[in-house]
Structure 1
Amino acid sequence: MDGRGGTEGIRSDYDVVIVGARVAGASLAWELGRAGYRVLLADKSRFPSDVLSTHNFFNNSVGMLREMGVLDRLLATGTPTYRRAYLRLEDAEIDGFFPEANGETECLCVRRTHLDRILFEHAASLPGVDARPNFRITGLLRSGGAVAGVEGTDSEGKPVRIPARLVVGADGRRSIVRELAGSRRIVSVPTDFASYVGYFEGFRQEGERCTEFYRIGETLAIAFPTSDDLHVIGLMFPLEWKDALARMKENPEAGFREFVARGLGATSFPSRLKEAKRSGPIRGLLGYDNDWHEAMGPGWALAGDALSFKDPAVGQGMHDALLGARLLRRILSSEPDWESRWDDMARRYEQELNDHFMPLFRMACGMTRNVPLRPEQAAVNRLIGRHPEATSAFLGLYNHSRTPEELERIVGGLLRQAPQIDSGEG
């Protein structure tokens, strides 16, 4: 693994210190290093190491990985690609292929033990990027009211003070940089669900390899084919199910299988899961907010989950980390005199983020509430599942190749034909 510990070689003239070196931080370090900036990329962990995540890239994001020059290394891990999605929403089935995006047709769900290490090493290979694992940031330096660097401890436990023109928090949904910088939380929608994730060997899928998503009653489940001949499978049920929470605490694997069987018994999912063998622990996230924070201020900025965490069921975290890094690099590259332009850059960064990420953030906020589907929405889901054009437009929301307005236009046209369609005349 590339990257150094200790304080040897630490500079006093970094343009940017990035706190957090996983997907958001490593991709931002690569973007900025390629643009000629002097970057310190620091993380409290060493790589490879795992984190709770569904770690999926839809094909639009696979295109960004290819453009970064890292896709071949990721594929060399043996992680399978897929292009199909199967969704069961109550009694509606939506089964189709993600439309082409960024010239790509295949999606990729690569485990974080591979992904984070490879992205970290890819960023560290640039001469302008100083990558430091096992660096713990504990405070921010300030000058004239602006953030002016970081303080913390290096891999040997020695105190460090590192000045920089900009500090970026890419350190996850519990970001220390966000807290210390005083970023305001702009939107907060709490989830109604507990979420559990596990890896399983021998999970059999029906038909072509795909991602699967189920919402039946109050149970949600999702499955992705991933690295090491495994599937990553997520289970969500209401936080108010206290007996279920107690059972999961008592015996996570047994509880996981029991509540999949209870909620999805009308499908083949439980029987296929029964055939599969668990690999590694079942891990859970009991309650979280779908949140959106102030993105930038004098001397600081946020990226990835530190900026906005959303329900994992929409699978947008990886995409937002990659694209967010590009957006921030463009903003910074357009303004050589950062110190006099913080307010303007912050407005532009926030606007770019809103334009690109807010539609699916709102979608995540809707999915995270335990609200029964309205009859009209259930009817629309059935309609989408019956018509390939609507199916493609619906799946295109996930890879940003189609907009909600386009889907509404297609569905509206089908609804106007509904009498003929229902009678077999259309």
Structure 2
Amino acid sequence: MYNAIVIGGRCAGAAVGAHLARRGLRVLVVDRSRFPSDVLSTHFVWPHGASYLNRLGVLDQVRAVTPAHTRVTVVNNGIALRGSVPEELLRNQFRLLHDDDSGITTEYFSVRRHVLDKILVDNAVRAGVEFREGYTVKELLQDEDGTVIGIKGRDGTVERAQVVIGADGRNSFVARALGLEKFDERPRCTFAYWSYFSGIPDADAQIHRRGRLGMAMASTNNGQTMVLTWGPSEWAEAFRADVEGNFHRALGLISEEAADTVARARREERFYGTLDQAAYLRRLHGPGWVLVGDAESFKDQCTALGITHALRDAELAAEAVGRWLGGETDRDTAMAGYAAKRRSQTAAAYYDYVCTLAEMKPLRHDELQLFAILRGNQAEIDRFIATHVDVAPVSEFFDPSNVFLLNDTAKESSRDHSAFADFEATYREHQRNPFPRVAAEATR
């Protein structure tokens, strides 16, 4: 009998398995895929995600094959802010969540999933995890009280455990088998298309917003750069009519400089896309089971935090399950602690923040003024970036008193910026879908 069975062996599953095995527990991780293999993902890892990789002992392996950076450029309607996530804010977050700030790094990566997932799987095996790839779970086993006690595979094998952990993504088999409903769903979201280009020099990541469109560029593995565009989901159908043409048109509308860079580069792979980014929450745990990663919650890709949050949740869940199975506390107390950290007021505020961004409404005049005034304050630029990627609390940066102080001189700071010229007309123009006309021209 195993102490824990983990269904899903990618970021969340391999990580939680490794953490539990290092506590001396007997762990089985199963996944229907074989590794290395790719999965649809925008594969960005922010500094707190890289810190979790460091705590797992695999950061050097990722760094050896993936460009690392600390500074990122965020551009809103042409207003550019360049900064990084402050180390002290990272330490504060880890002390708050784990009472331990070891392994902190301010680096970030854009690491392909066939690279990262294989590294994490091999690390879990070295930690003592029994890993079965190409294994499909057919059934969750439950006792007469409904407590989950194990799994049955499609091959007929039966395995039992004290706890079964679902780390099997948005379409979680565990959630479906238990009849777990989604709640606090946010259907308004983005669509996204991306591909990989050679001939673009390794550089800091760029994230742009203009009107209702966004784009990002980040250096990744094999000397390539991932280039991503996104917009509101209601524009997705029109965009799909001519993906490549609309991809380049979107880049031109967002940043002429970025569009020129990509136009001179060579596309090395097909375009990848995702249309379903609707956010949701699920119950975190119950009798004999726990969910981690996208299985328990999902947010839009617009802040690129899926992997980082999966690694965070894996460590939090392993801490709770480890205390319970190690006899430090009872199951209910341990899992209540996990739920309290995952569903805190801070977590709820960030969920709202991402879901609001995912609607891709054009930035208001006062929002642009805030970005304009930040240009002269590096400490606040860094704090904004930390807030945007869920290192510092949203409620602190956007507290009315702080925004009032920052905006106090915003008019002076914004007078020379083109984003404020004829703002009302520009705002109305940004509400319009720019793709149907292009799609029609492409089919002539």
TM-score between both structures, scaled by the size of structure 1:
0.86
Deviation at 1:117, TM superposition (A): 0.3
Structure 1's unaligned 5+ residue stretches are 1-12
Provide the residue aligned with 1:8 in structure 2: none
C-alpha separation in 2, matches of 1:159 and 1:423: 70
Provide the residue aligned with 1:188 in structure 2: 185
1:74 aligns with 2:74: no
1:373 aligns with 2:363: yes
Provide the residue aligned with 2:130 in structure 1: 130
Rate the CA distance shift 1:23–1:422 in 2: closer, same or farther, 3 A.
closer
Provide the residue aligned with 1:256 in structure 2: 247
Deviation at 1:343, TM superposition (A): 4.6
Deviation at 1:220, TM superposition (A): 1.1
Deviation at 1:260, TM superposition (A): 2.3
C-alpha separation in 1, matches of 2:229 and 2:113: 19
Amino acid at match of 1:93: A
Deviation at 1:26, TM superposition (A): 0.4
Deviation at 1:50, TM superposition (A): 0.5
**2:3 and 2:325 in contact (8 A); partners too:** no
Rate the CA distance shift 1:385–1:182 in 2: closer, same or farther, 3 A.
farther
Deviation at 1:388, TM superposition (A): 1.3
Q: Residue deviations 1:165-196, cap 9 Å, x none?
A: 11111111111111112223222112342211
Matched residue of 1:115: which SS? helix
Rate the CA distance shift 1:377–1:124 in 2: closer, same or farther, 3 A.
same
1:57 aligns with 2:45: yes
Q: How many residues align?
A: 396
C-alpha separation in 1, matches of 2:412 and 2:188: 40
**1:320 and 1:357 in contact (8 A); partners too:** no
Provide the residue aligned with 2:239 in structure 1: 244
Q: What is the 5 A alignment of 1:14-413?
A: 14-77=2-65, 79-100=66-87, 101-102=90-91, 103-127=104-128, 129-143=129-143, 144-153=145-154, 158-204=155-201, 209-241=203-235, 242-248=237-243, 253-261=244-252, 263-264=253-254, 266-336=255-325, 343-355=332-344, 357-398=347-388, 400-408=390-398, 410-413=402-405
Amino acid at match of 2:234: E
Which one is further off, 365-374 or 328-337? 328-337
C-alpha separation in 1, matches of 2:138 and 2:375: 51
Rate the CA distance shift 1:232–1:420 in 2: closer, same or farther, 3 A.
closer
C-alpha separation in 2, matches of 1:203 and 1:305: 32
Deviation at 1:337, TM superposition (A): 8.5
Deviation at 1:229, TM superposition (A): 0.7
Matched residue of 2:134: which SS? coil
Deviation at 1:226, TM superposition (A): 1.0
**2:372 and 2:413 in contact (8 A); partners too:** no
Deviation at 1:76, TM superposition (A): 2.2
Amino acid at match of 2:12: A
C-alpha separation in 2, matches of 1:170 and 1:331: 15
Deviation at 1:383, TM superposition (A): 1.8
C-alpha separation in 2, matches of 1:348 and 1:45: 32
Deviation at 1:288, TM superposition (A): 2.6
C-alpha separation in 2, matches of 1:27 and 1:112: 14
Rate the CA distance shift 1:267–1:95 in 2: closer, same or farther, 3 A.
farther
Rate the CA distance shift 1:401–1:194 in 2: closer, same or farther, 3 A.
closer
TM-score between both structures, scaled by the size of structure 2:
0.83
C-alpha separation in 2, matches of 1:346 and 1:104: 28
Provide the residue aligned with 1:10 in structure 2: none
Provide the residue aligned with 2:435 in structure 1: none
Rate the CA distance shift 1:348–1:258 in 2: closer, same or farther, 3 A.
same
Matched residue of 2:234: which SS? coil
Q: Residue deviations 1:30-64, cap 9 Å, x none?
A: 00000111111001101110111122222222222
Rate the CA distance shift 1:403–1:192 in 2: closer, same or farther, 3 A.
closer
C-alpha separation in 1, matches of 2:311 and 2:13: 9
Rate the CA distance shift 1:230–1:368 in 2: closer, same or farther, 3 A.
same
C-alpha separation in 1, matches of 2:334 and 2:121: 27
Deviation at 1:416, TM superposition (A): 3.5
Rate the CA distance shift 1:385–1:292 in 2: closer, same or farther, 3 A.
farther
C-alpha separation in 1, matches of 2:249 and 2:412: 43
C-alpha separation in 2, matches of 1:117 and 1:84: 27
Structure with the largest fraction of helix: 2
**1:135 and 1:152 in contact (8 A); partners too:** yes
Matched residue of 1:220: which SS? strand
Rate the CA distance shift 1:354–1:210 in 2: closer, same or farther, 3 A.
same
**2:373 and 2:413 in contact (8 A); partners too:** no
Matched residue of 1:240: which SS? helix
**1:183 and 1:295 in contact (8 A); partners too:** no
RMSD of aligned alpha carbons: 2.3
**1:194 and 1:238 in contact (8 A); partners too:** yes
Amino acid at match of 2:50: V
Rate the CA distance shift 1:114–1:336 in 2: closer, same or farther, 3 A.
closer
Matched residue of 1:64: which SS? helix
Deviation at 1:418, TM superposition (A): 4.7
Q: Residue deviations 1:275-300, cap 9 Å, x none?
A: 11112221111133111111101111
Structure with the largest fraction of strand: 1
**1:186 and 1:292 in contact (8 A); partners too:** yes
